[in-house]
Amino acid sequence: MTQSSTDAAQPGLFNFGADYIREHFGSNVALATQQMTHSVFRQNPLAHIDHLLSCLALDGQESLLDLGCGNGFILRDVVSRLRHGAHAVAVDVSPAMLELAKRNVNVAWVPLTFQEGRAENLSMFEDGTFRRVMANYIFHYIEDPDLVLGEMARVLHPEGHAIVSIEARHSMPEMYNLHFETMERVGFPSDFIDRLPRGRRGVMVLDNAEEILRRTFGSVEEKPYVDSLRFDRSEQFMNFYGNGHRLLGVKAHAGDAISQSMIDDLYTAVEEAVAKQISNVGYFEISKQVSVFVCGK
């Protein structure tokens, strides 16, 4: 994860800047719940990590930078593919995530360094240091994508390439639509509802990523990963919605304005709606819009 706010992209929203990011990713609950759910309930037979590995196109001897490594969920599989002659560096703004990554990345045959830092400032690395740079799902938290992409391009070897994984602003619409419809139905204040994001945050999202990436990189190739999550029991989805996404920002920003009973009513009403659909059609499914962009100088 990296440090920045996204208020410039969606004015009037609650502050989802550095303090929120450090608090949200101060424990592994939310991130690990999302990762588990995406892995277990995916409908695409190809795992997302295998798609990423294909995009990285490793020969095994690369110098690699993982920018915003989080808890090391992706890094663990990537570094296990590296061999003699390679080395890797993992950077994250959250000390808690770095500690988790150190424990989670338990198979590395090559030197691996963990370093606290911000994507906006990679001055600790010389130009052209890395043959592979990966930034997975960090741009939803980046205020100035051109600055970060400029740093990524600077530290990228002339013959190397970077990968950027990103999600569409309106990915998983079934979850967001149900969430906001239910908030209105159970009586949440309209001004509170209006300040919550109605999809993925960020200045750069899938909808405009190629345009922004081409301002920095000479070559950009989009490689979509099409998937959906299908749940056959309501508690499976509710874990993803409640623990993984913390009720899409409601828990983080309830403060004194939103009572616990209102939060409980929201949770119960969403669960009832999901259970009803599962009873009617056999499952509740949410669709995802994700791509990996392979970028070269």
Total structural domains in the chain?
Answer: 1
Say if 234 falls within a structural domain: no
Say if 282 falls within a structural domain: no
Report the percentage of the chain scoring pLDDT > 70: 91
Say if 130 falls within a structural domain: yes
Say if 132 falls within a structural domain: yes
Q: Which pLDDT score is estimated for 3?
A: 38
**In this model, does residue 21 exceed pLDDT 60?**
no
> Nearest CA to 73 among 24, 121, 41, 37?
37
CATH number at residue 118: 3.40.50.150
Say if 191 falls within a structural domain: no
> What is the tens place of the pLDDT at every residue in 246-259?
999 898 889 888 99
Mean pLDDT of 82-97: 95
Tell the burial category of 129 from Cβ atoms under 10 Å away from its Cβ (0-12, 13-18, 19+).
middle
Q: Which pLDDT score is estimated for 25?
A: 56
Question: How do 87-92 and 112-116 pair as beta strands?
Answer: parallel
> What is the tens place of the pLDDT at every residue in 117-175?
999 999 999 999 999 999 999 998 899 999 999 999 999 999 999 999 999 989 999 99
Say if 179 falls within a structural domain: no
Q: Which pLDDT score is estimated for 26?
A: 57
> Nearest CA to 203 among 257, 249, 150, 148?
148
Say if 251 falls within a structural domain: no
- Print the domain residue range for 47: 18-171+199-229+288-296
pTM metric for this prediction: 0.89
> What is the tens place of the pLDDT at every residue in 171-226?
999 999 999 999 999 999 999 999 998 888 889 999 899 999 999 999 999 999 99
Say if 127 falls within a structural domain: yes
> Nearest CA to 95 among 75, 111, 116?
116
